């Protein structure tokens, strides 16, 4: 008799479904699952917190189009992973979480780490189930992987009871399930395509918005042709950056507010009209704007704004359909319009303000100086991971992306703590694909703290990630060391220290050196440049640059073009997230 265990069946089924990476933390009852995964040829990365493990697994999903797996223990292990599942689901990224749970015969008896795991995951996933027997494990795993990728991508959960992990079954009794193919592609209705083209042609102030759905949908080649053939201005969302290069002549990111406010027709490609795009509503959009909405999720169509034309289907296929329509009569939006001059004027004016700030070399440095020098040194093909408030918002405008799926950030859910997990996933992929790409993780000091112990993971696997902590001693802002000392003398810090403060000049660089990586304490432009150059040339181990900036450094003051309020910063974040 050829017997297999539950652990082997889980591992082999994942491998059959072409799940190549597993991130997790082992313990009772899932150690055997991780070992079986390695035996089946899946790469296993042991992490330090299940949240970061789940972030990493979901980044694999976004970067490759097939989910990574996240392996967790029962109760608290699974609960920690819920943050990662929620984040993946909000981002529409595929991920499969495998959770061990208590033995079936102890359920309801107060077993070790007993928790209603399948129910708990339902709110954070598209599919949540426990195989009823060993024999059906391959079908349930296939369904989880397929569901995570088909339709709108998202998180799926498979539960495995502790007693099932080492239980055995005769292999001949187990259902053989083959690998589910990549999702079938659907096209938009050809009448709707014709309608969309006529709306575009009639536009006076057209704008293409490129979202992370376009990046996930690998629409870059068709989209480049569409933009170049039609001459339309485009604006990427944060993770839509790089689908077309940020320095493309048709990119109007530097005139974002004006482009959104004054556009009369928006071709919305794989982006939701949620908070990131100010809901598509006044005061940030024209109340009469015509939206041509492209999405594969029918339930998304019409959210917040009723579209003038709805194009339901796969973004790459639909962009190709639009391209055929435009190509037919060679239509092109002229480049000498008033719309183009109004956008170009704004781009030039904004560049001037940023440049003045960037060229300051006072110590402590400001955000603009830091990002100016970082952007000069980063290779064009590097993957930029970024989180924080000002760190992420200012970094997004100053650090260019030139390639699709090369930016990972706090995303739709605005989650802090994702950075290190994302970077580990990107670095693990880089290791097997060997494209020579650097992974650079730009973190606020608060954001870094949420998953900071993952530097040990990076050191353990020798993942050459470069972490830049933009350290302003706090959340949004901090205080300098002298002020902190004075405050400490004045009384109990828990009563008087501003809640936004963190330890001034904390030595995050020493966290990295503690595990054998390279750490740099950086105060000046010269130190920043030399530390970054050294780090980028070291392929053997991770580095961390602890860049001390002015704790009161802030965004440049901007007049926002919106009806009503002229002083609101043109920020997608407002101040909802820590730095
Ligand atoms: P952003 O954060 O860039 O605004 P969102 O995550 O809000 O992007 O929106 C991405 C949208 O793209 C989602 O509504 C999702 O359903 C959609 N989407 C994902 N993949 C595809 C695809 N292949 N084709 C069409 N739409 C897609
Ligand atoms: Mg900070």
Q: In whole numbers, what is the pLDDT of the chain averaged over residues? A: 95
- Please report which ligand is nearest the Cα atom of 242: 1
Task: Give the span between the Cα atoms of 113 and 499, in whole angstroms.
Answer: 34
pLDDT of residue 360: 84
- Positive or negative, the CA dihedral 61, 267, 282, 244 is positive
pLDDT digits (tens, 9 = 90+) for 364-402: 999 999 999 999 999 999 999 999 999 999 999 999 999
Q: What's 429-483 look like in SS3? A: HHHHHCCCCCEEEEEEHHHHHHCCCHHHHHHHCCCCCEEEEEECCECCCCCCHHH
pLDDT of residue 353: 85
Identify whether 364 is preceded by a cis peptide bond (ω within 30 of 0): yes
231: left (phi over 0), alpha (psi -120 to 50) or beta: left
The phi, psi pair for 274, rounded to 5°, reads -105, -160
Quick one: average pLDDT of 328-342? 96
**Tokens 């019409």 sit on residue:** 302
CA of 258 to the centre of ligand 1 (A): 23
- Please report which ligand is nearest the Cα atom of 297: 1
pLDDT of residue 571: 42
CA of 186 to the centre of ligand 2 (A): 44
CA torsion, points 102, 108, 114, 115, in degrees to nearest 10? 120
Point out the ligand 1 atom lying closest to the alpha carbon of residue 314.
Answer: 24
pLDDT digits (tens, 9 = 90+) for 267-284: 999 999 999 999 999 999
Nearest to 502 by CA among 576, 447, 573: 447
Q: How far, CA to CA in Å, does 242 sit from each of 91, 158, 489?
A: 17, 34, 50
pLDDT of residue 344: 97
CA of 122 to the centre of ligand 1 (A): 22
* pLDDT above 70 for 426: yes
* pLDDT above 50 for 562: no
Quick one: average pLDDT of 530-543? 96
pLDDT of residue 568: 34
> What contacts 333, CB < 8 A, 6 or more positions away?
200, 203, 206, 230, 231, 232
CA of 296 to the centre of ligand 1 (A): 8
* pLDDT above 70 for 478: yes
pLDDT digits (tens, 9 = 90+) for 117-126: 999 999 999 9
CA of 470 to the centre of ligand 2 (A): 7
Q: Which residue has the least CA distance to atom 26 on ligand 1?
A: 295
Cβ atoms 219, 226 nearer than 8 A:
no
- Please report which ligand is nearest the Cα atom of 447: 2
pLDDT of residue 579: 59
pLDDT of residue 573: 44
Task: Give the span between the Cα atoms of 344 and 178, in whole angstroms.
Answer: 53
pLDDT digits (tens, 9 = 90+) for 427-449: 999 999 999 999 999 999 999 99
Cβ atoms 186, 314 nearer than 8 A:
yes
**Distance separating the N- and C-terminal Cα atoms of the chain:** 59
pLDDT of residue 578: 53
Q: Which residue has the least CA distance to atom 20 on ligand 1?
A: 213
Task: Give the span between the Cα atoms of 215 and 315, in whole angstroms.
Answer: 10
- Please report which ligand is nearest the Cα atom of 280: 1
pLDDT digits (tens, 9 = 90+) for 212-257: 999 999 999 999 999 999 999 999 999 999 999 999 999 999 999 9
Quick one: average pLDDT of 525-554? 95
pLDDT of residue 570: 39
For helices 525-537 and 367-377, what crossing angle results, to 10°? 30
CA of 466 to the centre of ligand 2 (A): 18
Give the pocket of ligand 1 (CB within 6 Å). Answer: 91-92, 152, 211-213, 216-217, 237, 239-240, 270-272, 274, 276, 295-297, 300, 314-315, 412
Point out the ligand 1 atom lying closest to the alpha carbon of residue 90.
Answer: 6
CA of 569 to the centre of ligand 2 (A): 18
For a mutational test of ligand 1's pocket, the pick from 67, 211, 401, i.e. the residue with the most ligand atoms closer than 8 A to its C-beta, is 211
pLDDT of residue 557: 55
Tell me the three state secondary structure of residue 71: strand
Task: Give the span between the Cα atoms of 92 and 152, in whole angstroms.
Answer: 6
For a mutational test of ligand 1's pocket, the pick from 87, 88, 92, i.e. the residue with the most ligand atoms closer than 8 A to its C-beta, is 92
* pLDDT above 70 for 68: yes
Cβ atoms 385, 423 nearer than 8 A:
yes
Point out the ligand 1 atom lying closest to the alpha carbon of residue 210.
Answer: 3
* pLDDT above 60 for 208: yes
- Please report which ligand is nearest the Cα atom of 316: 1
- Transcribe 342-402 into DSSP letters: HHHHHHHHHHHHHHHHHT---SSBPHHHHHHHHHHHS-TTPEEEEESSHHHHHHHHHS---
* pLDDT above 70 for 560: no
Point out the ligand 1 atom lying closest to the alpha carbon of residue 297.
Answer: 16
| Least confident interval from 96-100, 363-367, 528-532 | 363-367
């Amino acid at each position: 008799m050829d017997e297999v265990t539950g652990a082997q069946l889980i591992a082999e089924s994942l491998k059959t479904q072409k799940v190549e990476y597993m991130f997790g933390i082992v313990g009772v009852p899932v150690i055997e699952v991780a070992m079986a995964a390695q035996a089946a040829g899946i790469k296993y990365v042991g992490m330090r917190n299940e949240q970061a493990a789940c972030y990493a697994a979901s980044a694999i999903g976004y970067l490759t189009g097939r989910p990574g797996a996240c392996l967790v223990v029962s109760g608290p292990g699974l609960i920690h992973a819920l943050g990662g599942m929620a984040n993946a689901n909000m981002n529409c990224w595929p991920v499969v979480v495998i959770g061990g749970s208590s033995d079936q015969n102890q359920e309801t008896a107060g077993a070790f780490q007993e928790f209603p795991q399948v129910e708990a995951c339902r709110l954070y996933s598209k599919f949540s189930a426990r195989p009823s027997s060993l024999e059906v494990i391959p079908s349930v795993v296939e369904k989880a992987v397929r569901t995570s990728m088909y339709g709108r991508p998202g998180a799926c959960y498979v539960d495995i009871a502790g007693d099932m992990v080492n239980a055995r079954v005769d292999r001949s009794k187990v259902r053989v399930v083959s690998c589910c193919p990549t999702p079938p592609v659907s096209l938009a209705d050809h009448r709707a395509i014709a309608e969309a083209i006529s709306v575009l042609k009639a536009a006076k102030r057209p704008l293409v918005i490129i979202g992370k759905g376009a990046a996930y949908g690998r629409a870059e080649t068709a989209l480049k042709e569409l933009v170049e053939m039609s001459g339309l201005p485009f604006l990427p969302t944060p993770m839509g950056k790089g689908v077309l290069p940020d320095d493309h002549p048709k990119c109007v990111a530097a005139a974002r507010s004006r482009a959104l406010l004054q556009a009369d027709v928006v071709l919305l490609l794989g982006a939701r009209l949620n908070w990131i795009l100010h809901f598509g509503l006044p005061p940030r959009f024209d109340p009469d704007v015509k939206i041509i909405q492209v999405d594969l999720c029918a339930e998304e169509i019409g959210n917040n704004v009723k579209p003038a034309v709805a194009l339901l289907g796969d973004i790459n296929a639909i962009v190709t359909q639009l391209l055929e329509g435009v190509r037919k009569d060679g239509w092109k939006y002229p480049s000498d319009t008033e719309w183009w001059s109004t956008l170009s004027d704004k781009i030039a004016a904004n560049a001037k303000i940023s440049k003045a700030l960037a060229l300051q070399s006072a110590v402590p440095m400001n955000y603009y100086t830091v990002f100016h020098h970082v952007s000069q040194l980063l290779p064009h093909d590097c993957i930029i991971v970024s989180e924080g408030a000002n760190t992420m918002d200012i970094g997004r405008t100053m650090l260019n992306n030139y390639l699709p799926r090369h930016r990972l950030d706090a995303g739709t859910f605005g989650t802090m703590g994702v950075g290190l997990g994302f970077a580990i996933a990107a670095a693990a992929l880089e290791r097997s694909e060997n494209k020579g790409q650097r992974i650079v993780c730009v973190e606020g000091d608060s954001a870094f703290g949420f998953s900071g112990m993952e530097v040990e993971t990076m050191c353990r696997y020798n993942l050459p990630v470069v972490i830049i902590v933009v350290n302003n001693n706090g959340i949004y802002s901090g205080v300098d060391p002298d002020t902190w000392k004075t405050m400490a003398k004045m009384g109990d810090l828990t009563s008087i220290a501003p809640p936004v403060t963190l330890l001034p000049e904390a030595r995050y660089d020493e966290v990295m050196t503690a595990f054998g990586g390279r750490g740099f304490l950086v105060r000046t432009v010269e130190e920043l440049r030399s530390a970054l150059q050294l780090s980028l040339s070291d392929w053997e181990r991770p580095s961390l640059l602890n860049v001390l900036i002015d704790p009161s450094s802030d965004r440049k003051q901007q007049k926002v073009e919106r009806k009503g309020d002229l002083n609101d910063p043109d920020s997608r974040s407002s101040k909802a997230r820590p730095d």
